[in-house]
Amino acid sequence: MFEKVLIANRGEIALRIHRACKEMGIATVAVHSTADADAMHVRLADESVCIGPPMVRESYLNIPAILSAASVTGADAIHPGIGFMAENARFAELVQEHGFSFIGPEPEHIRIMGDKVAARRAVIEHDLPIVPGSDGAVPDMEAGRALARKIGYPVLVKAAAGGGGKGMKVAGDDKGFEEAFSLAKAEAGAAFGNDEVYIEKYLDRPRHIEIQLLGDHHGHCVHFGERDCSIQRRHQKVVEEAPSPALNASARDRIGRLAARVASDIGYRGLGTMEFLYQDGEFYFIEMNTRLQVEHTISEMITGVDLVREQIRVASGAPMGYAQDDITFSGHAIECRINAENPATFTPRPGKVENYHAPGGLGVRVDSAIYDGYMIPPYYDSLIAKLVVSGKNRNEALLRLKRALGEFVIGGVDTLLPLHEKIVAQPEFIDGNYDIHWLEKMLEVEVLGKVKDQE
Ligand code: MV4
């Protein structure tokens, strides 16, 4: 097992990883920018190294500075956390070439899954259901249009280097296709320096359901069930829950085992998540994330497994030591992402936190690195806390969520807390009856209501 881990991240996720390390008897090294000198992840770590100025290019994305910090502190492994270096295959390679363990998958798997065309090809060979679409990248407009007709409109043109919705355009007919194809290609080229695009049949009202996976270095893969991440705005998740209100135990078991089998077939190691769209009772693979995810917490609450601990264990080469049937599911969990943003416009609102009071009690977990008097810097992600509730069943989790939101006080800055209070009061949310467009529609109706009030 590792003796010292360098955590190449900040905020609540750096703290989350630090906590797992401490419980495993592993010393931690924090890295930080000059803007984060007073951050909680720096205070709690055993050692810390300043790696550069506030801008992420010069600090949290500064590979030589991070590797030097690992070297001077004598760390034997690097955990990339979420974002920043987590899905950078070249970083993973460099970490290994410098003699450290990378707490994540093999660089090869990061590379394959980062290319959405290669990802589709990799899983289709192993009989995972995918959205009907092109076999590979679409070479030109004519080939694309012919294929779009064959698949049947509407279709989506997606960037091979994409994910997160960038360079994605819907086409409803031949004329729309020409525009969508050129726009998607131009956007992809500008955003990723790679203008390869592919085509999929457009699903109009799916749910986003993802399967949490873990593979060890001995060919063994298991799943930890699904998370429903349909409640999002502009590709930013806002609320996640596990299990999905849309699945029954047999559907869960079927897709979970299938995903774990495919992960094992491709030799996947570490934590990973397969994303599916789910519509009319069918699953369609879209992408795989090769990292720990923000919403891993809800899978932990319904399985009782510390996923970060397991991720570190398998990265050290330890065999998993348990089988799929040893993972049992009980109860229900919901996570609310609390961002320091205006709850109507979603504009980031950095500033000083005042009157901070976190909720507590049975079934309530808050993962956060903020504290009373903390200055939220303007340079980084606006996620400042995750409120995670669990209960014996969905109704109990919902009641706890309402109660906990009522207790939560974060003064001095705008946060999404008022938005979450609105969401939990919506009948469709209470009934679990929502798809990926539901939150954006709810917000539209609200704005229209306000305009009417002014008239
Ligand atoms: C789709 C889709 C409908 N049909 N693919 C958005 C980002 C990327 N991860 C995949 N995305 C989508 N792919 C087909 N064939 C709709 C979306 C989509 C979406 C997916 C998951 C969660 C939120 C979303 C919001 C808008 C669109």
- What's at 134, amino acid-wise? S
The best mutation among 286, 287, 295 to test binding of ligand 1, ranked by most ligand atoms within 8 Å of the C-beta, falls on 286
The tokens of 275 are what? 């994303």
Ligand 1 center to 202 CA (angstroms): 9
Whether residue 15 is contained in a domain is answered as yes
Residues 281 and 157 in one domain: no
Ligand 1 center to 165 CA (angstroms): 7
Residues 403 and 348 in one domain: yes
Residues 166 and 259 in one domain: no
Ligand 1 center to 438 CA (angstroms): 13
Whether residue 432 is contained in a domain is answered as yes
- Pocket flag, ligand 1, residue 171 (CB < 6 Å): no
The best mutation among 277, 278, 434, 443 to test binding of ligand 1, ranked by most ligand atoms within 8 Å of the C-beta, falls on 277
Residues 197 and 182 in one domain: yes
Whether residue 52 is contained in a domain is answered as yes
Q: What is the pLDDT, as a whole number, of residue 166?
A: 83
Per-residue pLDDT of the chain (455 residues; tens, 9 = 90+): 999 999 999 999 999 999 999 999 999 999 999 999 999 999 999 999 999 999 999 999 999 999 999 999 999 999 999 999 999 999 999 999 999 999 999 999 999 999 999 999 999 999 999 999 999 999 999 999 999 999 999 999 999 998 778 889 999 999 999 999 999 999 999 999 999 999 999 999 999 999 999 999 999 999 999 999 999 999 999 999 999 999 999 999 999 999 999 999 999 999 999 999 999 999 999 999 999 999 999 999 999 999 999 999 999 999 999 999 999 999 999 999 999 999 999 999 999 999 999 999 999 999 999 999 999 999 999 999 999 999 999 999 999 999 999 999 999 999 999 999 999 999 999 999 999 999 999 999 987 777 766 66
Q: What is the pLDDT, as a whole number, of residue 165?
A: 81
3-state secondary structure the chain: CCCEEEECCCHHHHHHHHHHHHHCCCEEEEEEEHHHCCCHHHHHCCEEEEEECCCHHHCCCCHHHHHHHHHHHCCCEEECCCCCCCCCHHHHHHHHHCCCEECCCCHHHHHHHHCHHHHHHHHHCCCCCECCECCCCCCCHHHHHHHHHHHCCCEEEEECCCCCCCCCEEECCHHHHHHHHHHHHHHHHHHHCCCCEEEEECCCCCEEEEEEEEECCCCCEEEEEEEEEEEEECCEEEEEEECCCCCCHHHHHHHHHHHHHHHHHCCCCEEEEEEEEEECCEEEEEEEECCCCCCHHHHHHHHCCCHHHHHHHHHCCCCCCCCHHHCCCCCEEEEEEEECECCCCCCECCEECEEEECCCCCCEEEEECCCCCCEECCCCCCEEEEEEEEECCHHHHHHHHHHHHHHCEEECCCCCHHHHHHHHCCHHHHHCCCCCCHHHHHHHHHHHHHHHHHC
Place of tokens 């899983």: 123
What pTM did the predictor assign?
Answer: 0.97
Whether residue 118 is contained in a domain is answered as no
* Rounded Cα distance, 127 and 265, in Å: 11
Contacts of 195 (CB under 8 A, 6+ apart): 159, 185, 186, 188, 189
**Which residue segment(s) compose the domain that 312 sits in?**
207-447
- Pocket flag, ligand 1, residue 151 (CB < 6 Å): no
Residue with the smallest CA separation from ligand 1 atom 14 is 202
Residues 369 and 397 in one domain: yes
Beta pairing partners, 387: 336, 366
* Rounded Cα distance, 66 and 50, in Å: 9
CATH number at residue 162: 3.30.1490.20
Residues 270 and 357 in one domain: yes
- Pocket flag, ligand 1, residue 231 (CB < 6 Å): no
Ligand 1 center to 310 CA (angstroms): 30
- Out of 291, 349, 365, 394, the active site residue is 291
Ligand 1 center to 49 CA (angstroms): 39
Residues 82 and 155 in one domain: no
Question: What is the count of structural domains for the chain?
Answer: 3
Residue with the smallest CA separation from ligand 1 atom 17 is 165
Residue with the smallest CA separation from ligand 1 atom 5 is 202
Q: What is the pLDDT, as a whole number, of residue 307?
A: 99
Residues 145 and 273 in one domain: no
403 is catalytic: no
Place of tokens 């789910």: 278
Q: What is the pLDDT, as a whole number, of residue 454?
A: 65
Residues 143 and 222 in one domain: no
Whether residue 113 is contained in a domain is answered as no
Ligand 1 center to 132 CA (angstroms): 14
CATH number at residue 422: 3.30.470.20
- Pocket flag, ligand 1, residue 286 (CB < 6 Å): yes
Residues 335 and 425 in one domain: yes
Whether residue 167 is contained in a domain is answered as yes
Whether residue 124 is contained in a domain is answered as no
Residues 279 and 427 in one domain: yes
Could you tell me which of 3, 13, 5 has the C-alpha nearest to residue 292?
A: 13
> Measured from the CA of 133, which atom of ligand 1 is nearest?
15
The best mutation among 235, 280, 285, 440 to test binding of ligand 1, ranked by most ligand atoms within 8 Å of the C-beta, falls on 235
Residues 189 and 239 in one domain: no
Q: What is the pLDDT, as a whole number, of residue 450?
A: 73
411 φ, ψ (degrees, to nearest 5): -95, 170
